[in-house]
Each structure stands twice: as C-alpha cells, then as structure tokens.
C-alpha cells in the first residue's frame, strides 16, 4: 500500500493514536534535529514524523504501521554517524532510540551485558569497570555514540587492532524486521553451530534489515596497565614504514594511532595542549601484555619506530601525559569542525600496505592541490583522511567529495575496503559497487528482500539502489 499526501499530512496524528502519550515528536526544532547525522554533504530532508519508543513492542507497532502504508523507517542512535546512514528522506518516520537507554543486566560470571540500543558506549564501559569487567569496542565517539549505532555500523575504535570490532562482541540481538515481527538472534552460550549466524548479519547492516531493540554483548576481564610509546616522523610514508615494522615484529599493540601535524595543531588551537609543534606525524602506541611482557612489547615498538627513521621517540613513564596524548587524538574531529565542514574518509587496507596507501594520500593531495589531514587506526590499516572545506561553499564541497572518490578507488585497488567502521550510508554506495561487484550486490539485495519485503527500512542507503 503506497503512501498518499493525506496519509503524510496526518502521519504524526496516526502515530500518536497508536502509541502512548509523549512518544511522537511534534516540536519543529526537535524534529529538525532528527534529520541528519554528522556526515558532511550527505543529502537529507525533514522527516514526516519522529518517534521515541520506550520498548520493543512500541518499535514493532511503528514498523508494522509503516509497512502497511509503505512509509520509510529510519533508525537513529545518537546521530554521530559519518556516512549519512541515519539521514531522513522524504515522507519517512525516524525512530530515535534515545529513550531506550537502560543497561538491563551485567553478568560477571558469564561475562556478558544486556543493554538497550540507546546506551552510550562510555556509560556501558564505566558500568562494566565497576564490576571488574571491560567492554573493548572503543570508537573515538565513545563518549557520545550508542551501542545500537555501534552495532549498526560495526564500529571499531582505538583498541580494535588487538581486540576486534563490535561484531566480535555481539552474542545476541533482539530486532524488529521489516514486517514488524520481533525476532531473537544469536545466543548467550560460549559457542553454537545451530543455524546461520543471523545476529552477525545484522551487525553492520545500518538499519536496512531490522531495528535492533536489545543487544547482548561479550565482556572481558579488566586488562593490565598499558605502556605508551610515542614516535615523531618527518612524513606519512616514514610513519607508514614504522607501522609495517611493528606488524612484522609480531607485537600486537593494544592501540597504534597516527595523527599528523594538521590535526595536532587543530586540537592545540582549541585546547592549548602544546602538541602542535611535536612533529609532522605522530604515532601513538600502547601495549598491554601483563607484567614484564608489556614492557618488552613497548621496547620492541620503540625499536621499530627508531629503525623506521623516527625523528624523536620515547616510552612514556608519565601516565597522565600518556592519557593526554590519546585524549587529544579523540578530539581531532571536533577540533577540525571548528575550522569548517569536515569531509571524513574511512578506508581500510591490508596492514602491510599502509605505507603505500599513505604515500598515495600524499600524492593525491599534491596533485589535487588540497590539504588532506592524516588520522588513522594505523595498526589495523584503517585510515581516516579528512578535508576541511568552508561552510556554505558547495563548489569546494563537491571538489572534496571527488578527491575522496579517488582515494576510495586507490584503497580498493590495493585490496582494501571502502569503509572500515563508519558504514556505507549514502556516501559510499559508488565505492561499494566497485568493491563487491554485481553478483555479490545481488546477494545483498536478496537478503534485504527477505528481511524487509516492503522495502521500508532505510531505503536508498548502502546497497539497496539498483545499478
């Protein structure tokens, strides 16, 4: 059943009659705040309506209502995404999970937690720490992003080089399919070979297959204190060679981050950190093997930095100083936002090809006469090059996007992927065609039709548009 103009005119009223009081957003300012995520330049419009459900039954009622009428449904967490995956489209209903923000259970014996999708990542980590446990996935947006949003994009973060990404920690999910049916997927046991891994399929699906309403995640015990190593390099390729040496050494650091001078200066101008003159490119590494093994790992990393030509390197003995360095790394994106509109890429290449990809980034910047800020989870090959353009300058925005299309093509040519952790959303659909090819895209579309036969869940995003 297709949506008519009269349906949309009273859509908020119909939803208000369906749900308990206070669930439907009618304030124009609040409605506008649900229109888009943080992806610069990704298209969006005001949603026809927005709802803030409190439980799974309310989500299911909204999806069933929309499926019957052919109304698009867009799921939304904290809106910190960088691919346009949560952007509203004409006539859609945005389902915000902000009010479904309870930690339902932390089981220290089984080392798991059960949470609603609106729980903020750092809040879960803090609650786990109070029980002597640790939830590893740690995106730079952890102080603001939600577990539901992390699941939607299979978020990674600073420590995923050693401990993996969100999918590695999802044991089970409760979700609402495009029919409005509630399903439970996965398990809480340590292992299982019963049926297809459907919970894993939903992780990274960006709201195109179902709306996740509850998540069971695996936890770890608290880890040993980390040892921090810092190295300064003349340019990106030199830093890339240091990364390759660390990989070849066999040491798996708990973090290995790359930050260039442009990023450091942006943070320094904002927070007066004094980091702006520390070098052209910094590598920040951490090792967390217990006891003396951690010291030995840190010394190996330090040797790798020096052998690759570090202009300065050291193992930090001051925990406050070390924490400040990593805190500054997390501030890079908001610091750059103060200077203009930030276009952010999210390519990932094989770790041994990080030096080659960094060299290609430098070459692209020179050829296109554009400054590309360098930021990366260098230890797992996930690079986040960024371009800052003046707000309101559509010509520079378009030029920046074309530069990034070139960068995506270079990454795919090296056997990489168009997105390591931000998702495809609206911005990576062209690149995904190149990466997957028509046969694999058809498999994706077939899965989509099974889960969402009416085609209402986040339509027009990821792989859903026909070539």
Report pLDDT digits (tens) over 427-440.
Answer: 999 999 999 999 99
> What percentage of the chain carries pLDDT values higher than 90?
89
Report pLDDT digits (tens) over 274-316.
Answer: 776 777 999 999 999 999 999 999 999 999 999 999 999 999 8
CB-based contacts of 17, cutoff 8 Å, min separation 6: none
* 402: Cα separation from own chain's centroid: 22
* 16: Cα separation from own chain's centroid: 32
> What percentage of the chain carries pLDDT values higher than 70?
97
The DSSP result for 12-23, as a single string, is HHHHHHHS-TT-
Report pLDDT digits (tens) over 64-95.
Answer: 999 999 999 999 999 999 999 999 999 999 99
Instruction: For the chain, give every domain's residue range.
Output: 5-98, 103-221, 227-413
The DSSP result for 170-196, as a single string, is EEEEEEEETTS-EEEEE-SSS---SS-
Give the pLDDT band (50/70/90) at residue 133.
very high
Fold of the domain spanning 5-98: 3.30.43
In the predicted structure, residue 465 carries a pLDDT above the cut 60: no
Report pLDDT digits (tens) over 155-196.
Answer: 999 999 999 999 999 999 999 999 999 999 999 888 889 999
Among the four given CATH numbers 3.30.1370.100, 2.40.37.10, 3.40.50.300, 3.30.465.10, the one describing domain 103-221: 3.30.465.10
Residue reference for tokens 């085609």: 455
The pLDDT, as a whole number, for residue 320 is 86
Report pLDDT digits (tens) over 196-217.
Answer: 999 999 999 999 999 999 999 9
Report pLDDT digits (tens) over 233-283.
Answer: 999 999 999 999 999 999 999 999 999 999 999 999 999 887 767 779 999
Nearest alpha carbon to residue 362 among 214, 236, 174, 455: 236
The pLDDT, as a whole number, for residue 467 is 42
CB-based contacts of 387, cutoff 8 Å, min separation 6: 342, 343, 370, 371, 372, 373, 400, 403, 404
Fold of the domain spanning 227-413: Vanillyl-alcohol Oxidase; Chain A, domain 3 (3.40.462)
Sheet (strand 112-115) strand order: 103-107, 112-115, 210-218, 170-177, 182-186
Q: Which two tokens mark 175?
A: 């979700």
Same fold, 5-98 and 227-413: no
Comparison of pLDDT for 465 and 358, the residue scoring more: 358
């Amino acid at each position: 059943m297709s949506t008519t103009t009269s349906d949309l005119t009273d859509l908020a009223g119909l939803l208000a009659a369906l749900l308990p009081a206070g669930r439907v957003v009618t304030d124009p300012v609040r409605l506008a705040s649900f229109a888009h995520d943080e992806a610069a330049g990704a298209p969006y419009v005001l949603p026809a309506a927005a709802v803030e459900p409190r439980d799974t039954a309310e989500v299911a009622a909204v999806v069933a209502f929309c499926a019957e009428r052919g109304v698009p449904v867009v799921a939304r967490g904290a809106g910190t995404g960088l691919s346009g995956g949560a952007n509203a489209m004409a006539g859609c209903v945005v389902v915000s999970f902000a009010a479904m923000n309870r930690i339902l259970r932390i089981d220290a014996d089984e080392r798991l937690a059960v949470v609603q999708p609106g729980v903020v990542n750092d809040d879960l980590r803090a609650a786990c720490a109070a029980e002597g446990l640790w939830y590893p996935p740690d995106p730079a947006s952890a102080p603001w992003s939600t577990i539901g949003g992390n699941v939607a994009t299979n978020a990674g973060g600073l420590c995923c080089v050693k401990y993996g990404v969100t999918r590695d920690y999802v044991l089970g999910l409760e979700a609402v399919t495009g029919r409005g049916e509630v399903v439970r997927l996965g398990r809480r046991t340590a292992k299982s070979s019963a049926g297809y891994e459907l919970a894993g399929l939903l992780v990274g699906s960006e709201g195109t297959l179902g709306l996740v309403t509850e998540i069971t995640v695996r936890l770890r015990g608290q880890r040993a204190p980390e040892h921090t190593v810092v190295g300064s390099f003349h340019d990106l390729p030199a830093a890339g060679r240091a990364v390759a040496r660390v990989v070849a050494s066999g040491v798996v650091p708990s973090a290995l981050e790359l930050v260039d001078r442009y990023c450091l200066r942006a943070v320094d101008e904002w927070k007066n950190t004094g980091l702006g003159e520390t070098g052209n490119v910094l590598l920040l590494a951490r090792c967390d093997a217990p006891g003396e093994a951690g010291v030995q790992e840190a010394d190996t990393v330090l040797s790798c930095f020096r052998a690759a030509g570090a202009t300065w390197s050291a193992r930090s003995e001051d925990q406050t100083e070390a924490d400040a360095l990593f805190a500054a790394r997390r501030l890079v994106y908001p610091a750059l936002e103060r200077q203009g509109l930030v276009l952010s890429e999210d390519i990932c290449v094989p770790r041994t090809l990080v030096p080659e990809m960094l060299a290609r980034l430098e070459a692209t910047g020179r050829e296109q006469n554009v400054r590309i800020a360098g930021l990366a989870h260098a230890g797992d090959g996930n690079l986040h090059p960024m371009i800052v353009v003046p707000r309101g300058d559509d010509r520079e925005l378009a030029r920046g996007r074309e530069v990034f299309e070139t960068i995506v093509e270079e990454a795919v040519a090296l056997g990489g992927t168009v997105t390591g952790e931000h998702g495809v959303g609206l911005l990576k659909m062209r690149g995904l065609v190149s990466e997957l090819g028509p046969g694999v895209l058809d498999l994706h579309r077939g899965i989509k039709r099974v889960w969402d036969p009416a085609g209402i869940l986040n339509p027009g995003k990821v792989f859903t548009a026909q070539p």
